[in-house]
Amino acid sequence: MPKSPGSMVKNGSRGRRKWKPVPEDLIISFDEVLSSLDGVERRKMFGYPCAFMNGNMFFGCFEDRIFMRLSQEGREEALGSGIFKPFEPIPGRSMREYVEAPGDFIGSGGDFESWLERSLSYAGSLPPKQAKGKG
């Protein structure tokens, strides 16, 4: 009996595409940026390098893109800038407080630094997250 299109499995999971690795040059740029920030922790999320302040993720890489967490006002401004769009790791399912930009925005100078500062500031204003214990 033939399988229906809805039952096809792509890359080992139902209907999901396999995520691409982050280009090495983007990881290098990401790590250079983090080295200049105090109180920031580098961890992986989705298998990608991300930055956390007080346990709150605020900046990271996803495939060949970067994303930032911003306040409501910041997101509205970012989305109107022509640089950012909503961050959707899974198409059609955006992460509520996050916007994304092309990976090469990370080395663009003043605009990037200004947005990163806003993202870091927003993360710093959030209540600290406690590490979840395993057990």
Q: Could you tell me the CATH number of the domain that includes residue 90?
A: 3.90.1150
CA distance 26 to 61: 8
* Residue that wins the pLDDT comparison between 13 and 64: 64
Q: Is residue 79 part of a domain?
A: yes
End-to-end CA distance of the chain: 44
CA distance 102 to 80: 15
Average pLDDT taken over every residue of the chain: 87
pLDDT of 23 strictly over 60: yes
pLDDT of 9 strictly over 60: no
Number of domains in the chain: 1
Q: Is residue 11 part of a domain?
A: no
Q: Is residue 133 part of a domain?
A: no
Q: Is residue 131 part of a domain?
A: no
Average pLDDT, stretch 109-125?
94
Q: Is residue 30 part of a domain?
A: yes
**124 to each of 5, 36, 46, 111, 116, how far by Cα in Å?**
46, 16, 22, 20, 12
CB atoms near residue 8 (< 10 Å): 9
Provide the residue range defining the domain that includes 37.
Answer: 19-125
Rounded to two decimals, the pTM is 0.83
Q: Is residue 109 part of a domain?
A: yes
Average pLDDT, stretch 10-16?
51
